[in-house]
Amino acid sequence: MIKKNKPYFLIAILGIILFVPFIGMTPLFDWDEINFAESAREMILTGEFFKVQINFNPFWEKPPLFLWMQVLSMKIFGINEFAARFPNALAGIATLLLVFHIGKKYFSNRFGLFWVLCFVGSITPHLYFKTGIIDPVFNLFIFGGYYMLFKAFIEKAKALKYYVLGGLFLGLALLTKGPAAVLITMFCALVLLTIFRFKFWFSFKQILIYALMVLLVSFAWFGVETIKNGPFFLSEFIAYQIDLFLNPVASHGQPFYYHFVVLLIGCFPISVIALMMFQKQNYQNENQKYLVKWMAVLFFVVLILFSIVKTKIVHYSSLCYFPLTFLAAYVLDNLYANKITWKPVLQYILLIIGLALSLAFIVIPLAGFDEEIKRQFLPYMKDPFAQANFLIPVKWSTMQLVPGFVFLYFLVISIIRFFKKKTFEAARLLLFSTLITVQLILAWIVPSVEKHTQGAAIDFWKSHANEDAYIQPLGYDSYAHYFYGKVTEENRKPAKFLAYYETHKSENPSNIIDEKNHLFTQWLLEGNIDKTAYFCCIITKAEEFEKQYNLKQIGKNGGFVFFERKVE
């Protein structure tokens, strides 16, 4: 038994080593990381664990399951960055164990290990397990449910339990991020039915049990919330999801091909290695053939669906990491066994993308500690806010060049091996070098980059966190002041503001929460405040706010200007 489970134990240890270190050393990034962590923090402060809030107002963009995980983590580790990101580290370990198990079951131990290597040896699939965003947990539940449907397809005689488990996982995904999980699964099922010429492999009873399981699990929150507080939250949640699909929310509109580029570059090198799948394949059995089809369907459904969706953010296509790493592992396994022939054109694509990434990894720290290089970049930055942040005096060192040169060195060695027809060795080396580079970048480069982007604002919020005062951003949207300023409910709803709100609110506002937040800012700027208000304003709008509201400037750092308004 011990010998049989040894690979699982070693993979779990690998996941701990790769995903847990360094996750607490960098502040959470606006918006998404801080958004979710703040919702979890407010659950702890208010004791309202069924009520998702931001700024102590209803937040209907996300269900609460991931936030509950963060709450539990914060109860153990405290309200900090490590606790906010720890659930995804666990999701990363679970993901590695799951993909190894599937690879081992339908192919071999070797294939399972290749699949694990493809996950940890590519850039964004590795990175996102060290973040505080929802998607790693969300994707794990969707993929778990999708795999259960595949198991039901393969083992028809024992299918019922897999429909129960599939419904359980899909219901958990629904509780994690919302109806996108159901939409993806439905589209995949429709495509698979089309491929199999509508030869139904399931009965009405099985689908009914599957659907009832999804409803039962999701009812644990959606149903209870509706019974407890009426349909308002549910209707607003659905309206937001529709708006997300039809319109570019929060300025996240991008061209149709956005996710194609994101996956090609972000998932380097597996995105290029997986292109070898576009040739005739030889399968050892029917199950392998079916699994490849199911993975290809999942990949293209997710890619096309989120290319159509108007709101485009990097991690929206992250569910593609599962099938993409699988397809790359399949290529590696066949290269190892000399079953396929490497396409020489792919090594040129690897070289071009790899050189571009190497250059970026080298230039970023080089520009940090070399003022002359920094000045040469300024003309290419049209935004004064970006220019000012870029010029913040952050301490960089020559050691931070190491990740880029390590990556470049192994890239060159790998390409040479590709040209010498040692394709498996070359691909494996490239994956290992990417794994090492990602770890070094997270430890040495990301903390310095964060200081250039949002560090000044976060330092300002932290400096006033324990002061009895109001804090508010001006000219830009942020969640950082809530989390790092340790804002309390009493601080956001004082009696004087509530009186101001009653006299200034609209009769029929299009969005009550947005109007309340806007009026709170206006009250801080011109109302009868009862304690000092501090503001962090982006540099491009600082002069406008300073003149209009007669604010006192108390500091400036990078692209941020800091103001104060005292009680009159």
**CA–CA dist 393, 390 (Å, integer):** 8
Is the predicted pLDDT of residue 250 greater than 70, yes or no?
no
Q: What is the dihedral of CA 159, 162, 163, 168, to 10 degrees?
A: 170
**Residue 204 pLDDT:** 83
Structural tokens at position 30: 């606006």
**Residue 309 pLDDT:** 81
Question: Within its chain, how far is the Cα of 463 from the centroid?
Answer: 28
Give the residue with greater pLDDT, 532 vs 251: 532
Give Cα separations from 459 to 80, 95, 435, 471 (angstroms). Answer: 15, 35, 31, 13
Give residue-wise pLDDT tens across range 341-363. Answer: 888 899 999 999 999 999 999 98
Give Cα separations from 445 to 17, 363, 399, 452 (angstroms). Answer: 19, 11, 10, 11
Structural tokens at position 93: 């370990």
Give residue-wise pLDDT tens across range 75-86. Answer: 999 999 999 999
Is the predicted pLDDT of residue 24 greater than 70, yes or no?
yes
Instruction: Give the CA diameter of the chain.
Output: 80
DSSP 3-state of 479: coil
Pairing of the two strands 57-58 and 470-474: unpaired
Going by pLDDT thresholds of 50, 70 and 90, the confidence category of residue 241 is: low
Is the predicted pLDDT of residue 514 greater than 90, yes or no?
no
Is the predicted pLDDT of residue 468 greater than 80, yes or no?
yes
Give residue-wise pLDDT tens across range 176-234. Answer: 998 889 999 999 999 999 988 777 777 888 889 999 999 999 888 888 877 777 766 66
Give the residue with greater pLDDT, 170 vs 514: 170
